[in-house]
Amino acid sequence: MATRDELHSLLDQLPEDKLRDARPFLTGLLKPRPASPKIDRARKLTQQYKNMVEQRFRETRKPGTISALVGGGSVFPREGQMNGNHSFHYWDDKALVHQTLRIFGGQELEIMERTWRSEDGATLVYEQELSSGGLTKRHEERFPFRDASEPKAQP
């Protein structure tokens, strides 16, 4: 646990221009902002989305799938409406999956991106699925796979 003397010593070592950066943090510790219902709602939404992604993941996981989710998000209320982004990524068999819940003006858009290499190894496949308001759109692109050792094509 830090002592007052240790903290005073750290502050004394800071250059003057860095004190400006430290002040808001220290002030926030003394006078925390009151809890915001919008931020609390956003945190709950993030947790609900993470739980839903984990549940889907457990139900559809194939052998060889890495079972950890890595992700995070942010929320920024604007003009009384919720805006933000929550995403998680994981390996599903040979595909890297990136799942995102994007909120704009309170409207939710779920984006699922899958990237993998074709069976013959010659193609990089990118698949995107967008869902919002009961409508789902799918899109796929295929790119010739280039080994990192090959020179890049000139434009």
Span 32-47, pLDDT tens digits: 777 767 667 767 777 7
What pLDDT is attached to residue 112?
Answer: 93
Per DSSP, the three-state class of 71 is strand
Beta strand 107-117 with 123-132: parallel, antiparallel or unpaired? antiparallel
Per-residue pLDDT reduced to its tens digit, 87-137: 888 888 788 888 888 888 878 899 999 999 999 999 999 999 999 999 999
